[in-house]
Amino acid sequence: MHQTTYHRPSSVDEAASLFAKGSDAKYLAGGHTLIPVMKQRLASPSDVIDLGKIKELIGVEATGDGIVVKSATTHYDVASSETVRKAIPALAYLASLIGDPAVRHRGTIGGSLANNDPAADYPAAVLALGAIVKTNKRSISADDFFKGLFSTALEDGEIITAVSFPVQAKAGYAKFNHPASRFALTGVFVAKTPAGDVRVAATGASQSGVMRVGAIEAALKANWSAGAIDAVKISADGLLNDIHGTADYRANLVKVMAQRAVQAAG
Amino acid sequence: MGVEGIGASVVRKEDRRFITGKGRYVDDIKLVGMTHAHFIRSPHAHAKIKSIDTSEAMKMPGVVGVLTGQQIVDDKIGNLICGWAITSKDGTGMKMGAWPAMAPETVRFVGQAVAVVIAETKNQARDAAEAVVVNYEELPAVPDIRAAIKPGAPQLHPEAPGNVIYDWVIGDEGATDAAFKSAANVVSLDITNNRLVPNAMEPRAAIAEYNEPEEHFTLYTTSQNPHVARLVLSAFYNIAQEHKLRVVAPDVGGGFGSKIFIYPEEMVALWASKKVGRPVKWTGDRTEAFLTDAHGRDHLTKAEMAFDKDNKVTGLRVKTYANLGGYMSLFSSSVPTYLYATLLSGQYNIPNIFAEVISVYTNTVPVDAYRGAGRPEASFVVERLMETAARQLKVDPAELRRKNFITQFPHQTPVIMAYDIGDFGASLDAAMKAIDYAGFAARKAKAKSEGKLRGIGVSCYIEACGIAPSKAVGSLGAGVGLWESAEVRVNPVGTIEILTGSHSHGQGHETTFCQLIADRLGVPISQVSIVHGDTDKVQFGMGTYGSRSAAVGLTAILKAMEKVEAKAKKIAAHQLEASENDIVIENGEFKVAGTDKSLALPMVALAAYTAHNLPDGMEPGLKEGAFYDPTNFTFPAGAYICEMEVDAATGKSSFVNFVAADDFGRLINPMIVEGQVHGGLAQGIGQALLEGVVYDASGQLLTASFMDYTMPRADDLPSFKLSHTTTLCPGNPLGVKGCGEAGAIGASAAVINAITDAIGNNKLEMPATPDRVWHAIHG
């Protein structure tokens, strides 16, 4: 690791101002991506600004029609939050599947979303649930937030402060583990709004990161059942193809995981 | 046996140290004035080094030296050796290319060291390494066996035309061909034995210290065999004479074979410590472990088995290509030949066997012994053939095996090995009972009715362990003898130190070896300690690998113990004024049989050292040594049966049950044996389902971290049901056979046989990932 300057600000404003001062500053949340690449010397930020100890960024709150998960809340805290379990149990379940216990006690929702790993779990939930990503500057809808592999709508220095999830009529998540990393080889989140709209998002499958799956959304809107997906054809075009999963296998997993997510949602 | 004697599941003495973080590994050692080494490694699989510019790096803070491959050649440090000579079928010797410890001209795998930076701190060494400029001219790479043997393939070493190291044969080709001609049925299979990374928990490390006035080196290193390291470093690498080199292998965190070999980094650390006049430390990181630890397996095989009309095996014909990587590692040549093809008879009476093994160079990490070393590959070939034959002949796989079992011992196979004893039917019976083999058909039908694919797979393995009778291996080309040495020191107050040439790096020797003494003398194991892993303390040793420590190492201790006991009895008889023949040893006392006269061990020991009243002519002291050379290999064997369920929609396989019935001869510590079997099974199952090295076409290692290389985790594995059937090994006085490798040898075939049974498609390569299984089901 190259030398760097570590900062632990106590407010979002202080963090943003430290970032502006650094010549090549990086925010640190759980650190599961940044620290390994720094250790490999693939990243050598001048300043590392730790968001994980900012009190205003930690916690879960119930709102009238949903929940707000603040950005530095750990996966463990989301998975074990009574508020989340009651409002959107599929979201708590998803958080419980991320990494291992050590990862879940350090990793945060904001860090996961800002990094937008194409195989991370949270992007599937945020996209399928139609969540709003709140930053220190604005609110960004899920459909506008994800911009492809490791790329988001966040501007340089912008900090995610919270994610607002609307409560659904039904929601479910099914994940097929990458055998080595335990990221999602493919994970599918399905959601049905109280108004009857259906959103389905798959992670781990596409070459361009988390994606909506229109064909499955249409099938489920017509008939909310696992069987409704039987006839859906998922193209392997544009899907990831690597040593752990060929594109046609991933196309199959999108369908099978969607069916299992529907079964889980009830 | 006593509460701590042979056969008792004594809790491991060493574990308190390990689980409280008080183990002392190489990286824990800090010497005064110690510097740190960081290697500069090739990013290319095959390239010429055009130039190396170290001038900027030399000016960096804390840099003590920057050394290159050319300098190591200029200083006449020897090339790495291969310790087992193999002769090709045309009578020529193996074609070995030069392997300097750092590459002076050509690199032949990604990760090969070309230079090293020595600096005051590890970070300074890394910083300076970034300032070293190496210019390469890339050459076309050969990433695997198929590419290596293609006509016109890029050549790795001028010494090895066509990248072929040797083309070796064993068995009777004519008789085997005749058996196939007259066969009623022939079964054939193409088999890939996937390449694996050993991944011991502790990465390799070395600290070298040079004492200039004494011209003496000390090397602390992660070795399974420190004496062999000293021998090779002094005899072949021109580092130092043996008496001027001490090698210490302290606590070592796992080896699995990968720490047998003497690697370039140890050589460079020693050489550099003299060059810079400071102790030099190198601790590999996990990436370096993936890129430089010798890998295992990597065979392509075509195998055929001939049967007569009664389903008796009449012949076995095998052609195997083995990938040895970019250079020949220390025992690489022997693994796919004498450790592989000699086990192709399996547990079966096969009158005719012929095998050809062609070993090739590729632009990959060198391949050498890894847990089982050749024997898992052999067992996989035989057990996949047996299962395939049963399906083709439409007979029960267990019964086809039973029909062909060897039942008379000793049994001479057509491929060198003479099996001394075994009861293969007993192991198979035990495994079938444990898994309720008879009830499987009903379970499969029930699973099918629930839309699930259920399969069962049998694997009856045999291995040759207790490596090895020196004369026999010498006649086959080995450069070393494979005996073991031991010394038993009874101290003046009666405590006992055992000095052994075996090395414990997870096996629990500090407990099991003490249990022998407890058994012999009736003293508690707390009175006994084991000394190992230091060439200054232990007179000599061949180390630990090939499941040899009990069969060979412990037998050497027994031989030394017998000498100690004989002398102690003489002393006791003299002191008690009795006949030596009347002395018996019980509960730590030397007793005159049939009387109440006795002398406690401490009193005998004290008498030996005070020497006030010893029999006439007896030397003082109570310390004896022994060398033990086995007369044969030992032959652990057993039956593994695995029941699996496959999710057809995802291709994911899950264990329903896994049973293992092993015959290891006498068990010293059943709890430790159980742990060894669990670990071996995890690695065998890992090979079958999870682990596999992948290089891309340019020779880049795609599986270079745990993010891509699937190490088995606890939740990947079932809860194993273990049992033992026992035939005592007649080849050593303890009747032990060895248990360290069995799981890794027998498990893979059981798993693949179960999955292919479940999905009804026999074409399935390891690792049987969900993707591969799904494609095997759906096309």
Query: What would the pLDDT profile of B141-151 be if each residue is shown by its tens digit?
Result: 999 999 999 99
Tokens of B532: 């190992």
Size of interface A-B (CB pairs under 8 A): 46
Q: Is the dihedral of CA A82, A83, A86, A90 positive or negative?
A: negative
Residues of A in contact with B694 (CB under 8 A): 243
Give the pLDDT of residue B779: 86
SS3 B759: helix
Q: Which of A1, A186, A244 to mutate to test the interface with B (most CBs of B within 10 A)?
A: A244
CB atoms B769 and A180 under 8 Å: no
> Once rounded to an integer, what is the mean pLDDT over residues A201-209?
97
Smallest Cβ distance to B650: which of A181, A244, A253?
A253
Among left, alpha and beta (phi > 0; psi -120 to 50; other), residue B421 is: beta
Average pLDDT over chain B, rounded to an integer: 97
> Are A164 and A137 spatial neighbours (Cβ–Cβ below 8 Å)?
no
CATH of A170-265, one of 3.40.50.11610, 3.30.390.50, 3.40.50.300, 3.20.20.70: 3.30.390.50
Nearest chain B Cα distance for residue A250, angstroms: 9
> Residues of chain B with pLDDT > 90: what percent?
99
Answer yes or no: is pLDDT of A24 > 60.
Answer: yes
Closest by CA position to A8, among listed A32, A22, A28, A36: A28
Residues of B in contact with A249 (CB under 8 A): 651, 770-771, 774-775
CB environment A116-147: b (16+ within 10 A), e (fewer): bbbbbbbbbbbbbbbbbbbbeeeebebeebbe
> Once rounded to an integer, what is the mean pLDDT over residues B647-673?
98
Bridge-based pairing state of the strands B418-419 and B623-628 = unpaired
> Once rounded to an integer, what is the mean pLDDT over residues A248-253?
98
Relative orientation angle of helices A247-265 and A214-222, to the nearest 10 degrees: 30
CB atoms A41 and B126 under 8 Å: yes
B174 class by beta-carbon count within 10 Å (0-12 exposed, 13-18 middle, 19+ buried) = exposed
Residues 145-164 of A with CB under 8 A from B: none
Residue B107, phi then psi, degrees to nearest 5: -105, 145
Residues of B in contact with A180 (CB under 8 A): 690, 703, 706-711
**Domain ranges in chain B?**
31-139+204-283, 389-465+633-778, 483-628
Tokens of A89: 């149990």
DSSP class of residue B495 equals -
Answer yes or no: is pLDDT of B1 > 50.
Answer: no
> Once rounded to an integer, what is the mean pLDDT over residues A214-237?
97
Q: What is the 3-state secondary structure (H, E, C) of B111-151?
A: CCEEEEEEECCHHHHHHHHCCCEEEEEECCCCCCHHHHHCC
CB atoms B703 and A243 under 8 Å: yes
A135, B485, B487, B517, B738 from B541: Cα distances, Å: 66, 6, 11, 20, 18
Residues forming beta bridges with residue B304, ordered by sequence position: B188, B317
Biggest CA–CA distance in chain B, Å, is 85
How does residue A59 score in pLDDT terms, banded at 50, 70 and 90?
very high
> Once rounded to an integer, what is the mean pLDDT over residues B109-116?
98
Closest by CA position to B84, among listed B504, B467, B653, B552: B467
Q: Give DSSP secondary structure letters for B552-611.
A: IIIHHHHHHHHHHHHHHHHHHHHHHTS-GGGEEEETTEEEETTSS-EEEHHHHHHHHHH-
Rounded CA-CA distance A45/A40 in Å is 13
Closest by CA position to B510, among listed B1, B2, B4: B4
Give the pLDDT of residue A208: 96
Rounded CA-CA distance A106/A52 in Å is 9
Rounded CA-CA distance B26/A163 in Å is 48
Is the CB of residue A181 less than 8 Å away from at least one CB of chain B? yes
> Once rounded to an integer, what is the mean pLDDT over residues B516-537?
96
**A57-166: CATH number:** 3.30.465.10
Closest by CA position to B368, among listed B232, B227, B257: B257
How does residue B2 score in pLDDT terms, banded at 50, 70 and 90?
low
Q: Which CATH architecture has domain B483-628?
A: 2-Layer Sandwich (3.30)
The separation between CA B674 and the C-alpha centre of its own chain, rounded to angstroms, equals 18
Residue entry with tokens 């709890």: B671
Q: Amino acid letter at B673? A: V
Closest by CA position to A191, among listed A210, A164, A173, A214: A173
ipTM, two decimals:
0.97
Residues 192-251 of A with CB under 8 A from B: 243-246, 249
In terms of DSSP H, where are the helices of B237-339? 264-276, 286-292
Is the CB of residue A42 less than 8 Å away from at least one CB of chain B? no
Closest by CA position to B278, among listed B65, B82, B15: B65
> Are A94 and A101 spatial neighbours (Cβ–Cβ below 8 Å)?
no
B265 class by beta-carbon count within 10 Å (0-12 exposed, 13-18 middle, 19+ buried) = buried
The separation between CA B469 and the C-alpha centre of its own chain, rounded to angstroms, equals 17
Q: Collect all residues with Cβ–Cβ distance below 8 Å to A90 and sequence separation of at least 6.
A: A125, A171, A172, A173, A189, A191, A261, A264, A265
Answer yes or no: is pLDDT of B777 > 70.
Answer: yes
Q: Count of alpha carbons within 13 Å of B129, Cβ hemisphere only?
A: 23
Q: Collect all residues with Cβ–Cβ distance below 8 Å to B437 and sequence separation of at least 6.
A: B398, B431, B456, B641
SS3 B364: coil
Is the CB of residue A41 less than 8 Å away from at least one CB of chain B? yes
How does residue B426 score in pLDDT terms, banded at 50, 70 and 90?
very high
**Domain ranges in chain A?**
5-50, 57-166, 170-265
How does residue A1 score in pLDDT terms, banded at 50, 70 and 90?
confident
Query: What would the pLDDT profile of B28-87 be if each residue is shown by its tens digit?
Result: 999 999 999 999 999 999 999 999 999 999 999 999 999 999 999 999 999 999 999 999
Check if B389-465+633-778 and B483-628 are the same fold: yes
Query: What would the pLDDT profile of B745-768 be if each residue is shown by its tens digit?
Result: 999 999 999 999 999 999 999 999
Q: Which of A183, A186, A253 to mutate to test the interface with B (most CBs of B within 10 A)?
A: A253
Nearest chain B Cα distance for residue A203, angstroms: 16
Give the pLDDT of residue A64: 87
Residue entry with tokens 């990286």: B27
Tokens of B740: 């360290």
Residues of A in contact with B709 (CB under 8 A): 180
Query: What would the pLDDT profile of B156-177 be if each residue is shown by its tens digit?
Result: 999 999 999 999 999 999 999 9
Q: Which of B144, B196, B771, B774 to mutate to test the interface with A (most CBs of A within 10 A)?
A: B771
How does residue B591 score in pLDDT terms, banded at 50, 70 and 90?
very high
Nearest chain A Cα distance for residue B689, angstroms: 10
Q: Does domain B31-139+204-283 have CATH number 3.10.20.340?
A: no
Tokens of B392: 């083709």
pTM: 0.97
Bridge-based pairing state of the strands A184-192 and B652-663 = unpaired
> Once rounded to an integer, what is the mean pLDDT over residues A236-264?
98
Nearest chain B Cα distance for residue A141, angstroms: 31
Smallest Cβ distance to B708: which of A2, A180, A246?
A180
CB atoms B775 and A41 under 8 Å: no
Closest by CA position to B44, among listed B138, B183, B144: B138
Give the pLDDT of residue B200: 97
Q: Does domain B389-465+633-778 have CATH number 3.30.365.10?
A: yes
Q: Which of B290, B650, B715, B717 to mutate to test the interface with A (most CBs of A within 10 A)?
A: B650
Residue B340, phi then psi, degrees to nearest 5: -115, -65
Smallest Cβ distance to A256: which of B649, B694, B707?
B649
Give the pLDDT of residue B368: 98
Nearest chain A Cα distance for residue B196, angstroms: 14
Residue of chain A whose alpha carbon sits nearest to that of B126: A1
CATH of A5-50, one of 3.40.50.12160, 3.20.130.10, 3.30.43.10, 3.40.50.150: 3.30.43.10
DSSP class of residue A22 equals S
Smallest Cβ distance to B710: which of A40, A41, A179?
A179
A3 class by beta-carbon count within 10 Å (0-12 exposed, 13-18 middle, 19+ buried) = exposed
